[in-house]
Amino acid sequence: MRETFSSPLLAPDTRLAHAGGTRSADGGVVPSIGVSTTFARDADYTLPTGVASYLRSGAANWRDVETLVAALEGGFDARLFSSGLAASTVLFQALAPGDHVVVPDVMYHGLRDWLRDFCARWGVAWATYRAGDIDSLSGAMEDGRTKLVWVETPANPTWEVTDIAAAADITHRAGAMCAVDSTVATPLLTRPLELGADFVVHSATKSLNGHSDVLAGLVVAARDSDTWRRVGELRTGGGAVAGPFESWLLLRGLRTLHLRVERACRNAAGLAAFLDSHPRVSKVLYPGLESHPGHAVAARQMKGGFGSMLSILVEGDAATAKRVAGATRVFVPATSLGGVESLVEHRATVEGPHSPVPPNLLRLSVGIEAVGDLVEDIDRALLAAYD
Ligand SMILES: Cc1ncc(COP(=O)(O)O)c(C=O)c1O
């Protein structure tokens, strides 16, 4: 069996293009999908080596994705989950009552809402820090009590950039673990484990899959640990696993990750530059712009692009912003991010009545279309919304 994708000598692009290698017994150049939920034992009632007895405990289609993403992140190992949220929440579920966690004030709202409920019910204390502000993070730590520090960079939906190396250093000095949601950066632009993080989390629903047709998530660990083993127990015990077909689709999406990320980053940079001087836009939030407060850190820790996500504050209120979103023809007015098709969303509506997001903010997930069409579309929608 050839497994070229796992050779550490190959560049990420090559590993991605060969994702899954030629694992198939029939020599097929893409892996087959193993749909069986249960696996036969030998005559002495032992399981063949490397085979799980039941699909909730292990699947070859998961391992294809996990091996590849662990290698791309430079990690010890990875675990695939049924969603990005399942991959995120498991790290908090691995804590004990009485533990203390530190999380940013800007983060994926689904996790923030879940945490509020979880921490109250499970007796986990939490403190917040200003996203991107290392002094604020330092001030939120409780020596000996803080067990987990959460970083999301760039942070959804205003794209604050947090210095991962500095955050990991502060975390470790307090005896805690640092986890980074690197969904927007992808393993190609930032490698948090090399900067000192203990865990990386991805919503694989986004750029890793890239085609808006799979819900999945990953945790990658820098090393083996009690927490890492607990993450495995919680996945099997809780059952938040990905199906074989979803895993296979994700692997297929990963084969073109490098091309999609490169193009989407270029498109986003072009759009950000255009919108930065647009008369109907009061502010562009994009780490690639020199005016962005996190630009210097982003330039250091993001290699090859600043991501495909940006937000704009339009002149006017929520109603104006929604009119702009509704007037686009190429951008699809929908939530989510990291797909090949560009999306525009009124984030405050999606996050609900308690959202801290400015009412005039539109979040743009930039895809791989011709940038001229994207520029023309958003320009026309912006001008039409004020007629
Ligand atoms: C940055 C980030 N992390 C995690 C998630 C959760 O991922 P999923 O929707 O796959 O559960 C999202 C979803 O939008 C996200 O944007």
What integer is the mean pLDDT of 151-164?
Answer: 98
The band of 26, judged by pLDDT with boundaries at 50, 70 and 90, is confident
Residue where one domain finishes, among candidates 227, 254, 281: 254
**154 lies in the same domain as 225:** yes
Q: What is the pLDDT of residue 21?
A: 79
When pLDDT is averaged across residues 70-74 and rounded to a whole number, the result is 96
pLDDT, tens digit, 9 for 90 and up, residues 360-376 = 999 999 999 999 999 99
Question: Is pLDDT above 70 for 5?
Answer: no
DSSP-based three-state secondary structure for 246: helix
Query: Do residue 342 and residue 331 come from a single domain?
Result: yes
pTM summary value: 0.97
Please tell me whether residue 309 adopts helix, strand or coil conformation. strand
pLDDT at res. 100: 98
- Quote the number of domains for the chain: 2
Looking at per-residue pLDDT, the higher value among 144 and 345 belongs to 345
Which residues line the pocket of ligand 1, CB cutoff 6 A?
83-85, 88, 108, 110, 152, 156, 181, 183, 203, 205, 215, 217, 337
Considering the domain architecture, whether residues 171 and 84 belong to the same structural domain is answered as yes
Cα separation, 7 vs 16, in Å, equals 11
Q: Are 224 and 186 in a shared domain? A: yes
Q: Give 83-139 pLDDT, tens digit per residue.
A: 999 999 999 999 999 999 999 999 999 999 999 999 999 999 999 999 999 999 999
Do 39 and 126 lie in one domain? The reply is yes
The span from the CA of 263 to the CA of 272, in Å, is 14
> CB–CB of 264/366 below 8 Å?
yes
Q: Is the pLDDT of residue 291 over 60?
A: yes
One domain for residues 95 and 241? yes
Same domain, 173 and 313: no
Backbone angles phi, psi at 373, to 5 degrees: -70, -35
Identity of the amino acid at 375: V
14 is in which domain, residue-wise?
4-254
Residue from 92, 205, 363 whose mutation best tests the ligand 1 pocket (most atoms within 8 A of CB): 205
Q: Helix (H, G, I), strand (E, B), or coil: what is residue 382?
A: helix
What is the reported pLDDT for 227? 98
> Residue 278: which CATH number?
3.90.1150.10
Q: Ligand 1 pocket test: which of 81, 182, 183, 211 has the largest number of ligand atoms within 8 Å of its C-beta?
A: 183
**Percentage of residues in the chain having pLDDT higher than 70:** 98
Which residues are annotated as catalytic? 56, 108, 181, 206
Q: How far is the CA of 182 from the centre of ligand 1 (A)?
A: 10
As a whole number of angstroms, the distance between CA 68 and CA 72 comes to 6
Residues making up the chain, counted from first to last = 387
Query: Ligand 1 centroid vs 203 CA: distance in angstroms?
Result: 5
**Which pLDDT does position 387 carry in this prediction?**
74
Whether residues 221 and 366 share a domain: the answer is no
Residue 41 pLDDT class (50, 70, 90 cuts): very high
Tell me, yes or no, whether 206 and 337 share the same domain. Answer: no
CA distance 12 to 17: 9
The pLDDT tens digits for 212-229 are: 999 999 999 999 999 999
Residues 83 and 166 in one domain: yes
pLDDT at residue number 20: 87
Selection from 219, 286, 244 nearest residue 77 by Cα: 219
Q: Ligand 1: which residue has its CA nearest to atom 15?
A: 108
Q: For residues 250 and 232, is the Cβ–Cβ distance under 8 A? A: no
Q: Please say if the pLDDT value at position 209 is more than 90.
A: yes
Average pLDDT of the chain to the nearest whole number? 95
With beta carbons less than 8 A apart as the criterion, state whether 150 and 101 touch: yes
Q: Can you give the CATH number for the domain in which 19 is found?
A: 3.40.640.10
Band of the pLDDT at 3, cuts 50, 70, 90? low
Q: pLDDT band at residue 2, thresholds of 50, 70 and 90?
A: low
Domain boundary at 205, 239, 254, which? 254
Which residue, of 235, 254, 273, is where some domain finishes? 254
Same domain membership, residue 151 and residue 72: yes
Percent of the chain with pLDDT over 90: 91
Asked if the model's pLDDT at residue 49 lies above 90, the reply is no
Q: Which atom of ligand 1 is nearest to the CA of 216?
A: 10
CA-CA distances (angstroms) from residue 185 to 137, 154, 161, 342?
A: 21, 7, 11, 17
Same domain, 93 and 19: yes
Distance of alpha carbon 340 from alpha carbon 211, whole angstroms: 6
